[in-house]
Structure formats: structure tokens, C-alpha cells
Structure 1
């Protein structure tokens, strides 16, 4: 423990303190996380645990799982990241955020147990979430992986069912530069003789080998379960269950089907009527979130090639007769060209923003990839928003995307 008077820390003192924890990519503190979790008696949560990994769709899959279990009357803990507006969004118990004072208690106990051991910000808050889940009686705990899987802090817990939503190229500095290497990292959440739900249709050979040699009960999309979309409904099929003519969800259909596959593989009894009644009522902030129609304002946290390609398909379905203005902010860890290029054919004007973080790509470094004469650059989000408001017509579309922070900053402006 390296700080004084932590007994007097407020909630915001704690956030300021742990945000100063530095990440050294040459080091991994997984063993430290595991040691502290064991010290606090958190390696076993006495709940049925899902751990949800993958490149994209982890959060959506986790939220769908949470909603189905809550609607079925179970007690549920959910840990997701990152947050959009408030830290307290990251940890929910029974569908509700917790009071700041509860987090203060958790932070204090994790810090006491940490002593002089090094942790990253993410390691620390993951331990805090586990402490909160251990402190109450829960039937189900859902943990969303931060990055990768094998050495992610969530992986100190042995899950009952693990999930991989998909495997794409991202975070290459941490996970590797091929789907095979990334697949190895993400497969680290698998457990021997436990179910692993795989929603990736083109599974890397590395993952197939790990499933086989690790004696993991893999449930693969297209082999063990699948879904089919119709005009106004969809159906789900697995080896032991099927649900016909379900209402279409407002969130990603493949992520909804993945969550449903994970539900039917669990030990819990979930009524079909419950699934049917809640599946189209699930709503998640920042995932193709349409705020208004005249002009149409869309927020999306898409921040890599795969998620932006999915965003492009959705935009084509809803775009109006007007122009598309894209407000984009991107983090340095991302491939800028891969994030903007899928939208070249449909975005009419780009508004490149410097985000309020040291990790922000400079707007001119985004603009260098864009067609000449199609962009403007801004030093702050509020200036981009003011200009777009001035020039956008009621028939236009305003898209805000590129990272969670991009969406967070516009949400802060819109709620002021």
C-alpha cells in the first residue's frame, strides 16, 4: 500500500488514485490478481459464472444474459467495461448500479489486500467487482473480459460456461497479429470439462486444438446451434432446444442468439415465455443508439474493422435521403484506416475530433486517410458538435463513433 489516509478517501479520491496506476505492457500482473483474489476469498464466488470474451459483442451478449436471468427471477451480478458516463455502470447487481459508498468500501479492502503488489487500473477494479459479488448472494455472475482472455483479470475465476463471441484482429500489441495467435489468448478462458460457447463461424485452428486437447465441451455455431432470421422474426435451434418465431431484438441478433445458446446450456430453468417477452425489450446505450430522427442522430462505440463493417450495414438500412455527417474520435491503440475506410462510400462529411485523453489520435492523423475536401478537424468534441448542429439538415444523419470515449464525450454534452 503506497498511499496515506485512504480511510478518508471519497469515491472520487479513489477513482483519481487508481487511474494513476500505470500500465507496463512488458509486465503482466495476473499472478498478483490471483494472489489478492485468493487472499480475499474470491476465487470461488458460490454462483454460476459466465465469462464472456471475444473481439466484439461481449457487452451486448452479457447484457442479454443479464436480462433473461433477471426476468426469470434470478439474482444476477454483471461486470462490464468500459463505462460511458459513470464508473458505477461497470458493476450491477440485480440490474442496478451500486451506491458510491459501496464501491468505496470495496476499493479500501482491495487496496489493503494489495499491499505493495503492482496492479493495473483494470486489475484493481476487476478485483473490486469480484469483492462486491462475493459480498452478496447471487445465482448468476456474468464477467465480461477486458482484453484477450488468458491473462485478463476476470480469468482468475473458473467459469461454468465460457463464451467467445468472435475472433478478429485487434489489440495486436497485446494479443498478436494473427487470428490464430489471438484465438490462443481468447481461448484461455476455457475450462476442462466445461461448456464453451463459440459464436465465431470461421474458427482459427488454434482454438479447435485447444478445445480438443483441453477436453473442453465446445458448442459451436452452425454445428451445435444456429439461428435463422426471417422478415419479422427469428428462430433458434440447438441439439436439445428450439424456439420458433421469436421477436427480433433491438440489439445484435447474433449476440442475442449467442446469449440464448449460453442460457440453454446452463442448469437453470428458463421459461420460453420469459425469453419471448423480454428479448425485444433489451436496450443498450451506445450500440447503434438512435437518439432522434430529424436529423437522425446515431451513437455507436464501433472501434475496429469488424464492428465498423457491421455499423456500415446497419447504416445502409436506416439512412435517409440526406447526407451523413460522421463525428469520429479514435484511440492510439487502434488502426485508424480500418476504422474509417468501411464508411468511405456512405459518409459525406467527416468531423475528426481530438478526445480528452492522452490516448487520443490527433484529428489531423485521422484526416490524412480521408478523401480530400471531405473533412474538418476539431480540438474538442463540443466544437465538432456545434458545427454539425449548424450545418446538418433535418433529412441528414449524424453518426458519432470510433471509441467508447467518443460516445461518452458526446453523451456528456447532450446531457448538460
Structure 2
């Protein structure tokens, strides 16, 4: 794809650290509800590429134009996935213990590779995921959903994040890896801490790596019917280190994303009467509902990361070699250039960028959709009288710079026997 020549904006060198006032993606603001206004203000002030900070002193470009996100995602020769190109750590301005490094630090995994090396690992990961039995996965997810619902149904109240959206993907992850319950819970805690981008994220990342390293060593000695064993046996001949870190990437991205997708969909069902009525009345399928949520509330708003391989101009911004760029998926989905005049996406339109784009498009979107669809459909049918128990503006949000998912979704309903 060719990109038309542009002139650099005079204030376009912020990510090199020359302007400390770039808007922040970390901290409590903006929360999930504040993001649309945040993107609109960025678009007015900076256009489709805006300077931001991920943590104190950690600058980046946030790409929020739909066209520009597609360009950055597709042009590997200009925008690499390899964080060893990132100038700030090489200059000693981002230390290994920074809260963003557990996600941005290099690993021998597909998310951090380009070209042939990426294609080799992606083939192994994609074919391993494609080898999952969809019917068996659906049955397992539904059984886990029924069990979770049965646990809170007699109480007449629940937090649909803590008691449902977080636990359902966790149980699926544990089962796919063949882990015992205790080790599986430790892994989920470590994954959650790694993406939180807080003071404990580096420790959480090390705990996650240790659990997965032990798992891979065990499966090398005694293979089983699980994802780690399948990756080890793939003809791409991944090393133990590559299997460990590709598993880390799969579940760092997949678990957190699925939790947020389930939570966001349940919130819209609870808080948007027209949406709920359309789904209940059959005017929307569950898949239509899931796609509308992906347009409005992508599970990952700011996808890390690309690194400029040379000095270039992107949408009027002078990007330097080694600058970090985030794909602003939520901002791109709200780009006025791709939405109808009323700003409402057309049902059935899947041109959103919620799973990324280009060679690194998420390879696990089909199982993520299956898990989310099953979670929403099962709960919607089992407890159709769910109602939110706090004012919607009071819902709390997670503070990660990568995504602003719901931290809690408290609900009430008529108590029913757990076997109902």
C-alpha cells in the first residue's frame, strides 16, 4: 500500500520525550465511558496520530485513524514488532522494572517478531488453535457457565465480572493447558497482574513465565491432549523457550480480551433497553450483538506495539526511528471516516479493527467468539431478569493503559434454585 507524501506537523516529536504534557493513558482517567470523548479531543487536537504517555516518562504515538491503523499494521518494513528497536530502553530511559515492560519487553514469540520468523511461529500457533474441537470447547464452556451460574443463582445477586466473566475464560484456559486447579489459578492471577501495568507487574510476569516454563518441561517429558503438547509437536519445531513464550502471548492476549468482551456485552444488555429488546425479540443474533460491542467497546483499546524502523511522516507527524506506536483500535473504530453519519455501525459490518489487522491479526478470534457467545447466551437464558444494581456511571474500571475494562458489574435478580 502506498502512502501519500505529507508534511510534518511542527509539534510532532513528542514521543522522543521533548514534550512532557502528552495525554496519559494510565491512571483512572479516562475510564471506559470517557474514552470516546478522549479520542474525539485527540482527533481535534492532533488528528489521526497523537502523542501519549503509557507511564510516567514513557511516551508513544497513539494511532486512532482507521486508515492509519491499517497502514501501520500492514507495513512491516516501516513498523516492526520487535521491541529491541525501541529507542527509550536502548537509551536507558525505560528500565526493565517499568510497569509496561512485562507486555512490551521482547520475548521469542510471534507478537514480537517480523517476517519469516513471525510466519513460522504464527503457523504453529494458528494451526494448534485450529486443531481445537469446537464442539468440545463449546460443551466445556457451557458446562462451566452453568456451574458458575448455579453457584450464585440462589443469592439473587452477583458481580458478573468477578463471579462470571473472569472465571469462565480462566476455567477454559486451565482446561486447555491441562493444569490442576491450584496451578491454573496461580497462572490466571499472574496473567492478570502482568497486564495491569502496576508496581507488581514485573513480578507477575516472572511468576507467569515460571509456571509456563515448568508446564512446557513437563509436557516435553510426558505429552498430553493439551495446547502446550500440541505446540511442542508441531512441525515448525518450536524450541521450549518459544513454546513457553507463545503460550504466554496467547493467554496474555486471549484471557484478558475475552473477559472484557464478555463484561462489555453483558453491560450493554443490562443498560441498553433497545439492544436487549432487539436480542430478546430475535431482531439481533448473539453474533450481531457481539459485533456491535466490538465496534463500541473493543476489549483491547490500545494494542501494543509497533516500532518505527526509520524516520518517516505519518499523518503529519514526524515519527523517528525507534519511536513506539500503539494501534488505537477503539479510536479507529470511532473514526468518522468509516462510520455512517449517525455514528452507529451497521449490523453485520465486521470491518472494525478490534482484532487488529495485517499479518498480526489475532489468530484466536474464533475461539474467543465461541467462548463469549456461549457465556452471554447461557446467562441470558438462565437468568433473563438480570438488572444492574448500581447507577451505570458508578461502575468501576480497570486502569491498564492497554484496555479500560470493567472492574465490576453488580447485578440483582430473583433468586432461584441452583439446579434451575
Higher helix share: 2
**Bigger relative contact order (CA 8 A; separation at least 6):** 2
Same topology, TM > 0.5: no
- Give the TM-score of the pair, scaled to structure 2: 0.23
**TM-score (normalised: structure 1):** 0.23
